[in-house]
Amino acid sequence: NEFTLAMIKPDAVAAGKARDIMHAIESNGFYIIAKKYIQLTEAEAKEFYGEHEGKPFFPNLITFMTSGPIYALCMSKIGAISAWRALMGPTNSKEAREIKPTSLRALYGTDNTKNACHGSDSTNSARREVLFYFPDISFP
């Protein structure tokens, strides 16, 4: 099995969709092995998204991600990283509604920034991102 890090972002939490998203996660065969409900500080959000520093959308991303509480989830499944990105759909929720209308970003997000959820994009980022929220977790 593989670990990945998911976030249910402030837009989806504020809209009351966290339960629905966690239900979709579990009914798609992921095990939620750790869960944390927190509001990121600006410094924490900048550290988590450090790879995007300097990109034009970075200030909006940090403002959005610190705007309210989120859920961080460490999830396990065979092929978890790619399976979770497939379940989320394309980054832009508007595009997701056109090309993958059953995906979570199509169902619960708004646009290119407010897109309801996050998923690690590689084994290296999964390790970094899981340990960011759950430093005591031991990897398989």
Residue from 119, 126, 129, 130 in contact with ligand ATP (CB under 6 A): 119
H helices of 8-134, in order, are 10-14, 18-27, 42-48, 58-65, 80-88, 93-99, 104-108, 123-133
Name the residue number minimizing CB distance to Mg ion: 121
Q: Which does 113 bind (CB under 5 to 8 A by kind): Mg ion, ligand ATP, none?
A: ligand ATP
Q: What tokens appear for 64 in the block?
A: 């959005």
42-81 residues near ligand ATP, rule: CB under 6 A: 52, 57, 61
Contact range with Mg ion by CB under 5 A, out of 16-24, 101-109, 115-123, 126-134 = 115-123
Residue 95 or 121: which CB sits closer to Mg ion? 121
Phi/psi at 45 (nearest 5 deg)? Answer: -65, -40
CA pair distance 88, 6, nearest whole angstrom = 10
Answer yes or no whether residue 91 interacts with ligand ATP by CB under 6 A: yes
9-38 residues near ligand ATP, rule: CB under 6 A: none
Annotated binding site for ATP: 9, 57, 85, 91, 105, 115
